[in-house]
């Protein structure tokens, strides 16, 4: 796994937020990206954007994308956890109140009414958002050090998603099933009577995704691949030295790739597609000509 992407409305504000509120640090700065190859891979004619990679001290990377042309679209309101697709970024923190204040100070929003406590595990949870409404989940559990935890995906079929992400190196990890309504889940999700399964999957490097299947109430929203200039979490990217072998495997598991978006530049090859539920997947391969 290489990184997760997020489309932001203001680059400087977003960069400050992720650094000051969540501890990300500078990685690669790509500056302004434009030209025919960018137009092709992003499927956006005349595209011009500012892109920068940030890295969390615990390892995972986040790519900030700020589109200058065409400008970004979409709601800056926090999306429901019942909405299909990329849901949130989740972090363990040493002090949930101190971290919530960092989020406020850096321009984010704290949804105090989502504060919940799981008495069985001892975990306290609180939802916040970045300045553009992207959900940030804070978790505090005694004895667990602060670190990036996972990102979540709302899916209709856990088994189909397990098979797809297994082909990208992920294996089942912790599995939480709540067949009956539980107060802390109602509170954190802002959905009375919610019943769900949260299946964690993890690769060999420790990268973790949460597959969230809601039994009740019904989930909603498009399962079509969204454009990269849509505000919020945009894609998951992977390094792959054998793209030609991977694409038919993932396509056979319900995903797809768009050949028209396939580019091979002097330093990198890119393929864009989607998982079975429209979550944008990017495969990348270094070019060593």
The whole model's pTM is what? 0.96
pLDDT at residue 289, as a whole number: 62
pLDDT at residue 127, as a whole number: 98
Residues 6+ apart with CB under 8 A from 275: 161, 164, 165, 250, 254, 255, 281
Under-70 pLDDT residues of the chain: 289
pLDDT in tens, 18-29: 999 999 999 999
pLDDT at residue 7, as a whole number: 98
**4 in Cβ contact with 207 (< 8 Å):** no
Task: Return the SS3 of 229.
Answer: coil
pLDDT at residue 288, as a whole number: 83
Torsion, Cα 5 10 14 16, to 10 degrees, reads 150
pLDDT in tens, 139-171: 999 999 999 999 999 999 999 999 999 999 999
Phi, psi of 13 (to 5 degrees): -65, -45
Interaxial angle between packed helices 11-20 and 96-105, expressed in degrees from 0 to 180 and rounded to the nearest 10: 160
**84 in Cβ contact with 154 (< 8 Å):** yes
């Amino acid at each position: 796994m290489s990184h997760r992407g997020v489309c932001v409305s203001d680059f400087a504000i977003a960069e400050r937020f992720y650094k000051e509120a969540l501890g990300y640090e500078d990685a690669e700065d790509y500056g302004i990206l434009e030209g025919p190859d960018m137009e092709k891979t992003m499927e956006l004619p005349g595209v011009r954007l500012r892109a920068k990679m940030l890295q969390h001290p615990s390892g995972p990377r986040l790519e900030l994308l700020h589109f200058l042309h065409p400008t970004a679209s979409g709601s800056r309101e926090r999306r429901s956890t019942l909405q299909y697709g990329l849901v949130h970024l989740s972090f363990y923190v040493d002090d949930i109140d101190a971290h919530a204040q960092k989020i406020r100070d850096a321009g984010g929003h704290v949804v105090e009414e989502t504060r919940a406590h799981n008495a069985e595990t001892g975990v306290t949870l609180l939802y916040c958002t970045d300045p553009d409404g992207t959900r940030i989940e804070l978790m505090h559990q005694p004895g667990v050090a602060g670190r990036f935890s996972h990102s979540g995906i709302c899916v209709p079929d856990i088994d189909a998603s397990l098979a797809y992400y297994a082909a990208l190196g992920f294996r089942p990890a912790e599995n939480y099933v709540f067949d009956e309504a539980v107060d802390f889940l109602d509170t954190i999700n802002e959905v009375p009577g919610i019943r769900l399964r949260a299946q964690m999957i993890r690769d060999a490097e420790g990268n973790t995704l949460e597959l969230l299947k809601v039994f009740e109430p019904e989930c909603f929203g498009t399962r079509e691949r969204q454009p990269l200039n849509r505000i919020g979490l945009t894609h998951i990217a992977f390094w792959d030295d054998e793209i030609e072998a991977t694409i038919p495997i993932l396509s056979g598991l319900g995903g797809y790739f768009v050949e028209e978006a396939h580019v091979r530049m002097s330093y990198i090859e890119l393929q864009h597609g989607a998982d079975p539920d429209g979550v944008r997947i990017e495969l990348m391969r270094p070019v060593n000509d």
